[in-house]
């Protein structure tokens, strides 16, 4: 299985973001990728008030429509890392991953469960829950390529979600992100490697990178990690496409060597 990670710097204009994505998707397909992964907030990365003003419902979102066209054009699976989408009758948006098949049809949807409400410093505070409604359901998508577990960004810090996906059969867990620079420099790689080791899964993490306006900077370093915790690909901070070959047999081998997914035991609380 050949997968591609698309790393780019999304802005607040969905049309411009789609125009930037199209050649990157074409490059990924030309390099033989069967699965192409994009970052969190692929359609629009902007302050909350801008997102609330510009977001469309799923059926009207122009970036999603464009990604479906590209999936059909190139005959590839596209994992739209996440899109900010309006929900009917809701004041808040969905932060939604959308998995698109090579026929352009939507194969799976996942709404981010864990929302980024943190105070990183006196000058940097994030309240994702003020603009987004949290999801409530873990999603495993079984495809001809692999069984894919869907997560988004801050979900990476919640090991039990990844464990549940692996125990349900996930071989590859997708972790699209727009990690901040401070948390990315401190925790990004170690968290991805930990989740891969704990679950014996491949982790594919397409990330936003660079300066996005309004003072927001993202970490980049899109990573592919193997089920033994080895870093297979690190894209640094440049925009572009990274390609990696995944051996499905490596998942079975890692889980055979360390079968911890079968060793859960009940215990009393502290």
Catalytic residues: 40, 112, 153
Give 56's DSSP letter. Answer: E
Angle at 176 between CA 147 and CA 19, to 5 degrees: 110
Instruction: Return the closest-CA partner of residue 81 out of 29, 156, 26.
Output: 156
CB-count exposure of residue 93 (10 Å: 0-12, 13-18, 19+): buried
Report the C-alpha gap between 129 and 92 in whole angstroms: 8
Catalogue the E-assigned strands of the chain: 2-7, 35-37, 56-57, 77-86, 93-100, 106-111, 117-121, 124-127, 139-142, 147-150, 172-174, 202-205, 209-211, 217-219, 223-225, 231-234, 240-245
């Amino acid at each position: 299985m050949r997968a591609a990670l698309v790393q780019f710097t999304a802005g607040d204009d969905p049309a411009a973001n789609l125009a930037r994505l199209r050649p990157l998707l074409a490059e990924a397909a030309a390099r033989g990728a069967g699965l192409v992964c994009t970052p969190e907030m692929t359609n629009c990365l902007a302050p909350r008030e801008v997102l609330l003003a510009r977001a469309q419902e799923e059926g009207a979102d122009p970036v999603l429509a464009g990604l479906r066209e590209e999936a059909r054009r190139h005959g590839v699976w596209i994992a739209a890392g996440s899109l900010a989408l309006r929900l009917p009758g809701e004041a808040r948006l969905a932060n939604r991953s959308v998995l698109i098949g090579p026929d352009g049809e939507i194969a799976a949807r996942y709404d981010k469960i864990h929302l980024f409400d943190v105070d990183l410093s006196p000058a940097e505070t994030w309240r994702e829950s003020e603009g987004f409604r949290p999801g409530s359901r873990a999603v495993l998508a079984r495809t001809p390529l692999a069984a894919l577990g869907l997560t988004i960004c801050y979900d990476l810090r919640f090991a039990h979600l990844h464990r549940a996906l692996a125990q349900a059969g996930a071989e590859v867990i997708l972790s699209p992100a727009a990690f901040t620079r401070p948390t990315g420099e401190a925790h990004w790689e170690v968290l991805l490697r930990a989740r891969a080791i704990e679950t014996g899964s491949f982790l594919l993490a397409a990330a936003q990178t660079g300066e996005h306006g309004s003072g927001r900077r993202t970490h980049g370093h899109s990573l592919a990690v193997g089920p033994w915790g080895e870093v297979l690909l690190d894209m640094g901070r440049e925009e572009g496409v990274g390609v990696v070959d995944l051996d499905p047999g490596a998942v079975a081998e890692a889980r055979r060597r360390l079968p911890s997914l079968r060793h859960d035991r009940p215990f009393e609380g502290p």
